[in-house]
């Protein structure tokens, strides 16, 4: 559902931009409706790519968080092995 809402939202934003453009130029709003559709399509495509970027970046962030947790667990194990309990405790609080 988020994909469609993003595409529709961006498309409506494109329609608003087109109507605003015609309003600034003081031209009739209902002339050349195919250009309204073109603006909506262009902004809809931008919305699709924005959604895809959001999904991809969330996946990348989750992978990075997992890597950080794994590295921190290794650091905790190394600190406990050496006997530095203060550092191990501090790292555990941040985990």
Residue 41 CA to residue 16 CA, distance in Å, equals: 13
Residue 7 CA to residue 3 CA, distance in Å, equals: 6
Residue 52 CA to residue 91 CA, distance in Å, equals: 35
pLDDT per position as a tens digit, 14-70: 999 999 999 999 999 888 899 999 999 999 999 999 999 999 999 999 999 999 999
- Return the domain boundaries, the chain: 2-94
Q: What is the CA radius of gyration of the chain?
A: 25
Contact call for residues 53 and 23 (beta carbons, < 8 A): no
pLDDT band at 1 (very low <50, low <70, confident <90, very high): low
Examine the pLDDT at 95 and tell me if it is beyond 80.
no
pLDDT band at 91 (very low <50, low <70, confident <90, very high): confident
Examine the pLDDT at 87 and tell me if it is beyond 90.
no
């Amino acid at each position: 559902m988020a994909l469609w809402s993003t595409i529709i939202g961006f498309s409506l934003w494109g329609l608003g931009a087109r109507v605003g453009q015609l309003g600034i130029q003081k031209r009739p709003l209902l002339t050349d409706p195919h250009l309204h559709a073109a603006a909506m399509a262009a902004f809809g495509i931008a919305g699709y790519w924005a959604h895809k970027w959001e999904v991809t970046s969330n996946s990348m962030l989750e992978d990075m968080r997992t890597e950080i947790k794994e590295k921190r667990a290794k650091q905790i194990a190394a600190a406990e092995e050496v006997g530095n309990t203060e550092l191990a405790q501090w790292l555990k609080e941040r985990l």
